Amino acid sequence: MVIVDTTTELTATLTDLEYLDQNHGLSLALQWNFTEITYEGVLPLMMVYDGEWIKEAFVKNFPIFTNRRQLALGRALDSGLFSLEGDHWKHTRKTLTPEFSSGKLKKMMPEIQKAMKAFVNLRTNDKEKAVNIRRKVDRLTLDVISRTAFGLESDAQTNENSQFALNAVRIINGEGFNTNLKEQIRLAIATVIFLIVPAWLIRKISRYAELGILTVTNTESLAHFENLCKSVIESRRERGGDSSNDFVQTLADNIVEAPAGHPHTLTDSLGLHWTKDGLTENEVIGSALLFLLAGFQTTADTLSFLFYELALHPDIQQKLYEEIRTLFDTDEITPEQLTQAEYLNYCLNEISRLYPQGFRFDRVAAEDVTIKGIFVPKGTVVVASAWVLHRDPAIWENPEDFDPDRFSPERFTDQCSNSFFPFGIGNRKCIGSRLALVEMKMAVVSVLKSFVIERCEETPSRPLQFQATIAILPAKPIMLKFGKR
């Protein structure tokens, strides 16, 4: 894995994890036994840690860096926005963008509010008890997704055995995966295939065997949500158009067919059929599944880390509470109130800087190109590390500290702005970022209006240690208390 450090004009031959550990204090248990990698499987990789270079490549040269590396996620997910390329991606992105407009988010807020009230009511029973905050917030975000994506009042928060919640957690975390010898061999073979076989070929093979990244171990759980989407779509068809605001039901109005051979049917670079007349049912289902998978764990983990840091920094928590008490003086939270909550925004930015859920993201060069003196051959996967940039002491003062005021206008410099990528960058940044921010802000307001977040004996100390996974997850559960307000 070639690391290009354009800040010091240094090209190193360290693995990504070694670089993070040696230069930025990230200590992951995952150890790779090689010191020089120029390819990941069959793909040439270039690691770049310079914000201005990344913007030059991914924003100004977007036509060259339009696509992500090809992945075979499996089933309908391969028709979701994350995996699509070229004109097919542009059409789908354009169709989905109105679903996350300010007006649409405002209509979603009452349903989000219901989930927040349920969360607060349940935490009343937890007063003075040590709770695993991640497990509780997991269920909250799943409740929000159930309401906003599928138009369903799920039992995610109230039922430990909720099928909606259990299947979602199983897909993300692999919980409940059968680890017998047969399944282990299957997973090992699939891993090798992912590294050496092109994604387009894996997709063709997947028509006959479940070989997608998320279907090797999660076929039943993915099928559960695909069937749920189909039932919501069918319900919409039976009722006809109505005033539903949830994601799947409104997208159902755009469903069209794209049969092979039809004059309006196009075929993309991955062999998928699509049409500019609307979205196919598979595209709607894939988009809904991506909504679930991208919006569930990332939002929950960001909130968990924020509650953790607020518990460890009671002075910051009190300052945030004072703003909330002043601005949010009504039972219902409004968009106008959220816009005025300046310090709340600082806190969310700071937690996203410290613990970026998308801690690395990539684009593939469609042609040979030279960016700021660095030559990138066609087909190279350029990987940007938000984690490194977010903790670079040359950019951020005392980068390991939790300091929301660093995002105040007086301290947030152009260099900081060029090195802050909480939701990715450019036209392919997270389409649901505004919804995620609204949800997180409403959660923080709802909780701090009712409780003081406190540390307890089981609360892990800073700096946190992390699991050996591809996500930023704490090695030990984050245990906190909800104290009386």
Arithmetic mean of pLDDT, 145-163: 90
* Range in 25-29, 115-119, 130-134, 467-471 the model is least confident about: 25-29
Structure tokens at 84: 């699509």
pLDDT digits (tens, 9 = 90+) for 268-296: 877 788 889 888 888 888 888 888 888 88
Report the first-to-last Cα separation within the chain, whole angstroms.
50
pLDDT for the residue numbered 307:
98
pLDDT for the residue numbered 211:
52
Query: Can you tell me the distance from the alpha carbon of 445 to that of 303, in angstroms, rounded to the nearest whole number?
Result: 12
| Whether the predicted pLDDT of 28 surpasses 50 | no
3-state helix, strand, coil in the chain (%, to 5): 50, 10, 40
| Whether the predicted pLDDT of 180 surpasses 80 | no
Buried b (16+ CB within 10 A) or exposed e, 7-43: beeeebebbbbbbbeebbebebeeeeeeeebeeeeee
* Range in 66-70, 418-422, 447-451 the model is least confident about: 66-70
Query: Can you tell me the distance from the alpha carbon of 150 to that of 159, in angstroms, rounded to the nearest whole number?
Result: 18
pLDDT for the residue numbered 184:
59
| Pairing outcome for strands 266-267 and 2-5 | unpaired
Buried b (16+ CB within 10 A) or exposed e, 161-174: ebebbbbbbbbbee
Domains defined along the chain, listed by start:
1-67+359-422 (no CATH), 68-358+423-484 (1.10.630.10)
Using the structure block, give the residue that is written with the tokens 């800040």. 7
Query: Can you tell me the distance from the alpha carbon of 424 to that of 295, in angstroms, rounded to the nearest whole number?
Result: 14
Query: Can you tell me the distance from the alpha carbon of 194 to that of 205, in angstroms, rounded to the nearest whole number?
Result: 12
| Whether the predicted pLDDT of 357 surpasses 70 | yes
pLDDT for the residue numbered 388:
86
Q: What band does 241 get if pLDDT is binned at 50, 70 and 90? A: low
Of 274, 253, 242, 240, residue with least CA distance to 90:
274
Query: Can you tell me the distance from the alpha carbon of 193 to that of 195, in angstroms, rounded to the nearest whole number?
Result: 5
* DSSP SS3 for 397: coil
Query: Can you tell me the distance from the alpha carbon of 105 to that of 435, in angstroms, rounded to the nearest whole number?
Result: 7
Q: What is the CA radius of gyration of the chain?
A: 22
Length of the chain: 485
- Alpha helix positions (H), 313-401: 314-327, 335-340, 342-354, 386-390
Structure tokens at 329: 């003086």
Query: Can you tell me the distance from the alpha carbon of 475 to that of 314, in angstroms, rounded to the nearest whole number?
Result: 23
Q: What's the whole-number average pLDDT of the chain?
A: 82
Arithmetic mean of pLDDT, 311-339: 96
Question: What's the whole-model pTM score?
Answer: 0.86
CB count within 10 Å of CB 46 equals 21
pLDDT digits (tens, 9 = 90+) for 297-309: 899 999 999 999 9
| Pairing outcome for strands 10-12 and 2-5 | antiparallel
Q: What band does 402 get if pLDDT is binned at 50, 70 and 90? A: very high
Asked whether residue 430 is marked as a ligand-binding residue, the answer is yes
- Residue by residue, DSSP assigns 232-264 as HHHHHHHH-S----SHHHHHGGGB----TT-TT
